[in-house]
Structure 1
Amino acid sequence: MAGPATVIYAATTTLHLLVLSAMIRPDGPSLTDRLTAWDGRRFVQIAQYGYPHGMAGAADGSNLAFFPLFPELIRIVHAASGLSWAVSGIVAAQLSLAAALIVLHVLLTRLYDRRTATIATMLLAGAQPMSLVFFMAYSESLFLALTAGALLAAHRRAWLTAGALTALAGLTRPAGVAVALALAVAVALHARERRRLPGRAVAGLALGCTGVPLFIGWVGLRTGRLDGWFVIQNAGWGTAWDYGHQYLTDLVGTLEGSNEFMAVCTAVATLALLVLSAAAFRRGTWPPLLAYGAGILVLSLGQSNYFQCKLRLLILALIFLLPPARALARADNRTLVTAAVPATLFGCWFGAFMLTTWHYGI
């Protein structure tokens, strides 16, 4: 099972690094600097220095907004390898991505078949336009690994393992709420089949619901106010729940005549992901996976924050991969290669362009 995913990881890593290296100007920031840009620097800072106390710097975006598990992994890699903090952040993301692709491939093979799983894994790691994020010192790769592990454990009805992995996902990103939702749906389906609610399933679900509240509560204690994490998010990044009003406003404004390249790309790509995600809501798709994907979509689009970051947030939904992967799985090898190779090259170029030229898309 791990063979195709390992090959995909090696191939897409090589391709991403080659394309990105080719697009970096000789007098510009190094490859390491690019792969630890933006949020990557925040995670490395947390790993190196820990979290600040109180609300200091909240207006500029306090590091208390970032969940702790990925910085802890960076700290472990640094202690075990002796690598620099920045390189340790990149290595932590790479290790997480390799694990994520392997586990996701196993999960999709169980749900569909080996060919569909291989194609979906390839699309995620290479073809979708934000694939480069998984190779950077960002928490998306670790979150993806834990999410895929939790869903796989739930499908195998290993409830305590699923609960533990869900809790860890909740300590990685606030989107851990969507993983807990998926676990709740899996438990409900199991209870309906068994006509009772097994104790291990209940215990696993209870454990899985602890991650996000645990960190938000800790930030409340750290800042001296219960809503400290939410205040920091709003002050630093303008993130607040608005039922999608800001996204729709930006989307309509962009489609009505924006000449800003990244805004247009974001509008078109997010709409494409929404259409593909809607197509995944068909008979035969595993309900917990649908619940997880829907949760990511709602969390990503229902909050007010930077429009250009919406695409990066949406790629964790995964369900948008299913329609194209299933369609390509039914095609012959020539059609598959004709479609997948240009898409992968475009995905690698687009991420490198945003990181080296646009600067504000990741």
Structure 2
Amino acid sequence: MTAISAEVTKKESLWDKSGGWQGISAAIGILALTRVGQLLMIAWMGGANDEPKTVWDRLLIWDAGWFLRVAMDGYPEGYTYSSDGRLEANELAFFPVYPMLIRAGAALGLDPNTAALSVAWLASIGAAIALHLLGTSLYGKRAGWALVAICCSAPASVVLSMAYSESIYIALVAGMFVAAHRQVWWAAGLLGLLTALSRPTGAAAAIGLTVAALLAVRQSRVQAWKPLAAAAVALAGVPLFLGWVAYRVGEPTAWFKIQTAGWGTSFDYGSSTAEFLRSTLRSGDGWIPVSMALILLVALGAAGMALAQKPWLPLAVYGVVAMILVYGQAGFYHSKPRLLLPVLLTLLPAVVAASRARPRVAILSITAWALFGLWYGAYLVTVWPYTL
């Protein structure tokens, strides 16, 4: 059998294994149920808040404004300072893929807000498809559907409906790993580059792809230059953007200084996270901080369980590096559950368990998880006053 015919057979087997168009439609249907259900919760819970906001308004808050300004006004020329001379946050902190897509939508005649949400919602569909294919590739069709359901109803999954970059990032990183698992290196490299230009944790995705490339070379399945080129392209993404910001501002550490000035984000080897966990769990002050502390602890435990099950090495490496970046940096603690959403490693134990359980048990368990997760996310954007 030639290499080309073997690749075609591989593609066809995954398509059949995933259930073809019916399997894809089911994954999109699961996504739709979670999104519609949560939007209804937001509409219902929004009525309990004294501040009058529509559901549409709530999907366009916080980071959405930054993305929209990048899309419509472009990046600033340099640092931004307050009236008393202090360095402030500005749009150079935000990676370019999502704003570029918003700008493209606006160029087609859409209102910028409509373009921002349209891009995010379309990307959510792409994420559902990519997650289903990834779960199917690794563990089978039922795991593919479970991965979609568990990820899209997680406590921070509300951002998949908002003008945030998570939906795009998840679609790209899951698609990248599907392509790498199937040895389609040109697609893996392209998706890896776009992943790296979507969020800073794209660096972790590029490292995961590099591991996949090295495994492929070691197993001598393909010409070595193809996987290595894909990895090199992906690895270039984050340094490319950070280097461009440095050049634009005229200082090598410009991006990091803007992050620290605006959001208190800096890598402190986890001391801030440890202090948040210690102080929150000792004082028990506020159920949202306590619940977020528990989410961080549960995610660590789930990652440990996943690693004990010896998942596909590239996905495991990506998950570990991404978690180090999330737990190791200082910043707003209430953003960490959102930052953990695309890690995927923390979801694998539940996905594997659901795929092996009886269908009724799996459906009931995921439904219970979804009801809590969707309500929690709706609460965060209607009652909780702080950014995600």
TM-score norm. by structure 2 comes to 0.89
CA distance in 1 between partners of 2:387 and 2:70 (Å): 23
Q: 1:181: which partner in 2?
A: 207
Cα distance, 1:282 vs. partner?
2.9
Indicate yes or no: 2:230 matched with 1:211: no
Q: Secondary structure at the match of 1:256?
A: helix
Deviation larger for 193-202 or 222-231: 193-202
RMSD across aligned C-alpha pairs, in angstroms?
1.6
CA offset digits 1:136-155 (Å, max 9, x no partner): 10001101111011111111
Contact 2:214 2:228 in 1 (8 A): no
Amino acid at match of 1:68: P
Q: Secondary structure at the match of 1:281?
A: helix
Deviation larger for 298-307 or 186-195: 186-195
Alignment of 1:33-182 (within 5 A): 33-57=57-81, 59-80=87-108, 82-126=109-153, 128-182=154-208
Identity across the alignment (%): 38
CA offset digits 1:152-186 (Å, max 9, x no partner): 11111122221111111111101011111111110
Q: 2:34: which partner in 1?
A: 12
CA distance in 1 between partners of 2:331 and 2:254 (Å): 18
Amino acid at match of 2:171: A
Contact 2:70 2:99 in 1 (8 A): yes
Cα distance, 1:288 vs. partner?
0.6
Name segments (4+ residues, structure 1) moved above 6 Å.
none
Q: 2:306: which partner in 1?
A: 280
Contact 1:39 1:138 in 2 (8 A): yes
Amino acid at match of 1:78: A
Amino acid at match of 2:226: R
Contact 1:281 1:290 in 2 (8 A): yes
Gaps of 5+ in 1: none
CA distance in 1 between partners of 2:324 and 2:303 (Å): 12
Q: 1:2: which partner in 2?
A: 24
Cα distance, 1:283 vs. partner?
4.4
Amino acid at match of 2:264: G
Q: Aligned residues, how many?
A: 360
Q: 1:328: which partner in 2?
A: 354
CA distance in 2 between partners of 1:344 and 1:218 (Å): 41
Gaps of 5+ in 2: 1-22
Alignment of 1:212-361 (within 5 A): 212-360=238-386
Contact 1:276 1:320 in 2 (8 A): yes
Q: 1:32 aligns with which of 56, 63, 67?
A: 56
CA distance in 2 between partners of 1:207 and 1:278 (Å): 30
Contact 1:32 1:87 in 2 (8 A): no
Contact 1:129 1:347 in 2 (8 A): yes
Q: Secondary structure at the match of 2:78?
A: coil
Contact 1:262 1:361 in 2 (8 A): no
Cα distance, 1:284 vs. partner?
4.5
Amino acid at match of 2:79: M
TM-score norm. by structure 1 comes to 0.96
Contact 1:32 1:86 in 2 (8 A): no
Q: Secondary structure at the match of 2:283?
A: coil
